[in-house]
Amino acid sequence: MKKTLFWTLAIIITLASAYYQRKTGPTYPKNVEVELESEIVKFKLPRSGDSNKDQEIKIPLQDKSYRVILNYRRYPINEPFQMTDFVAEEENLVAFLPKQPPAGKLEYYLVFKDLSNNIIFETEHAIIRFKGSVPAWALIPHVIFMFVAMLLSNIAGLFAIGKMGKHVLYGKLTLLLLLIGGLVFGPIIQYYAFGQAWTGVPFGWDLTDNKTLVGVLFWLVAVLSNRKNPKYRYTIIASIVLLIVYIIPHSLFGSELDYETGKVVTGFIKLFF
């Protein structure tokens, strides 16, 4: 019964942390709700795009008495915003952000105007980062390895709390999956997406790379410390650290294109845009 309870808790914790990380991440689409006279319009502002195509912005608005304008500029360059009007396509208004090189970013916002050209609504500014195409053979194993590693880390921690001996085995499996998913497939994905395999310490402050490194190091210490005389506390500490690591949103202090030099550096995607 205790094993069943711990496995159930581990699954719940893993799914909840994955959902929280995804929903709070700075590349997750921003939900917007506009209240017009005739209707309430809901749409999303994308914050991640592909470098091989322009990014579509779509608004489900059929009322032609409103004009919607897309304003954008390269980020973080302090340059004038460029403007383009949304156009009607079937039952939507559509506009496009111009594609950018991998790690290039655009700052943009939308303005709603009535027939008298009065501004009736202006969205918050959003930051979108563009990335290169990542092959499925690298992305799918990375996601699977990292997800299962988190699950095994949670079960190892719970087993250690319950003073169950298998926490050592699950700790070893956690470390193995972290090494493969985080330090093998992770840099491959980073290279395809942004042209840089590793932008964490000592080369930069990419938070995704650095938090992966922290998780690996804590589990490495736990596994080595548990080799001859296992201690529950090492496993518990490592599992808590990895849970904190997983909760931290991806892409903070992420790869960013320096438009002046043309080089990819460690930048910062603002979380609350």
- Considering the chain, what percentage of its residues have pLDDT values greater than 90? 63
**Per-residue pLDDT, 247:** 85
**Per-residue pLDDT, 57:** 96
pLDDT digits (tens, 9 = 90+) for 21-35: 877 777 889 999 998
Distance CA 234, CA 171 (A): 10
**Per-residue pLDDT, 273:** 37
For residues 257 and 44, the model is more confident at 44
Segment 82-106 shows an average pLDDT of 93
**Per-residue pLDDT, 199:** 77
pLDDT digits (tens, 9 = 90+) for 247-257: 887 655 677 88
Domains and CATH numbers, the chain: 2-25+135-266 (no CATH), 30-131 (2.60.40.10)
Given a cut of 60, whether residue 245 has pLDDT beyond it is: yes
For residues 237 and 88, the model is more confident at 237
DSSP state of 185: I
Given a cut of 80, whether residue 270 has pLDDT beyond it is: no
pTM of the model: 0.84
pLDDT band of residue 90 (cuts 50, 70, 90) is: confident
- Residue 2 amino acid letter: K
Distance CA 76, CA 134 (A): 25
DSSP state of 222: H
Count of CB atoms within 10 A of residue 73's CB? 14
| Residues belonging to the chain | 273
pLDDT band of residue 271 (cuts 50, 70, 90) is: very low
DSSP state of 80: P
